[in-house]
Amino acid sequence: MTSLHPVVVIGAGPIGLAAAAHLQERGQDVLVLEAGPSAGAAMSAWGHIKLFSSWQYNIDPASRRLLETPAAGYTGEWVAPRATRLPTGAEMVSEYLAPLAAHPAMAAVVRYGCRVTAITRVLSNGAGVDLTRSAGREASLFLVRTRVGEETADVLARAVIDASGTWAGSNPVGRSGIEAIGEAAARSLGLVSSPLPDVLGSSAERFAGRTVLVLGAGHSAANTLLALGRLRQQHPATTILWGLRGTANPARLYGGGAADELPARGQLGTRLRRFVENGDISIVENVALTSLSPNADAAAVRVALADGRSLDVDIVVPATGFRPDLSILAELRLDLDPIVEAPRALGPLIDPEFHSCGTVSAHGARELAHPEPNFYIAGMKSYGRAPTFLMATGYEQVRSIAAALAGDSAAAEAVELELPVTGVCSTDLAGSCDAPAVATPATGPAAGSGGSSCGAPEVAPCC
Residues 81 and 143 grouped into a single domain: yes
Whether residue 418 is contained in a domain is answered as no
Q: Is the pLDDT of residue 413 over 90?
A: yes
> Do 231 and 200 belong together in one domain?
yes
- Residue 446 zone, left/alpha/beta (φ > 0; ψ -120 to 50; rest): left
> Could you give the CA distance from residue 261 to residue 258 in angstroms, rounded to a whole number?
8
- How many angstroms separate the Cα of 41 from the Cα of each of 38, 113, 118, 190? 6, 10, 20, 22
Which pLDDT tens digit goes with each residue over 426-445?
334 433 333 333 333 333 33
Is 451 among the domain residues? no
Q: What is the pLDDT of residue 247?
A: 82
Contact 422, 431 (CB under 8 A): yes
Q: Is the dihedral of CA 446, 450, 456, 462 positive or negative?
A: negative
> CATH no. for residue 221?
3.50.50.60
Statement to judge: residues 56 and 100 lie in one domain? yes
pLDDT tens digits for range 72-117: 767 668 999 999 898 999 999 999 999 999 999 999 999 999 999 9
- The number of residues making up the chain comes to 463
Domain containing residue 303: 175-247+285-318
Question: Are residues 87 and 126 located together in one domain of the fold?
Answer: yes
Any alpha helices (H) in 68-120, and if so which ranges? Answer: 89-92, 98-102, 104-107
Q: Report the distance separating Cα 384 and Cα 350, nearest Å.
A: 10
Share of the chain above pLDDT 70, in %: 84
Report if residue 95 sits inside a domain: yes
d(CA 421, CA 360): 10
Tell me whether residue 402 is in a domain. Answer: yes
**Binning pLDDT at 50, 70 and 90, where does residue 256 land?**
low
Amino acid residing at 425: C
Strands 128-129 and 239-243: unpaired
Residues 311 and 327 reside in one and the same domain: no
How many whole angstroms separate alpha carbon 425 and alpha carbon 443?
20
Q: Give domain status of residue 274, yes or no.
A: no
Residue 10 lies in a domain: yes
39/109 same-domain check: yes
Contact 117, 146 (CB under 8 A): yes
pLDDT at 8 over 50: yes
Same domain, 234 and 93: no
Same-domain status, 141 and 192: no
Q: What does the DSSP assignment read for 348-367? A: HHH-TTT--GGGPPP--HHH
In this predicted model, what pLDDT tens digit does every residue of 276-297 receive, in sequence order? 999 999 999 999 999 999 999 9
The verdict on 327 and 314 lying in the same domain is no
Residues 180, 239, single domain; the answer is yes
Look at residue 103 and give its three-state secondary structure. coil
Structural domain includes residue 449? no
Q: 150 and 238 share a domain?
A: no
pLDDT of 450 reads 33
10-45 confidence digits (pLDDT tens): 999 999 999 999 999 999 999 999 999 999 999 999
**Measured between alpha carbons, how far is 16 from 142 in angstroms, rounded to an integer?**
18
pLDDT at position 359 is 63
Is 67 among the domain residues? yes
Domain count for the chain, please give it. Answer: 2
Q: Same domain for 54 and 151?
A: yes
Write down the pLDDT at residue 454. Answer: 37
- CB-CB neighbours of 104 under 10 Å: 13
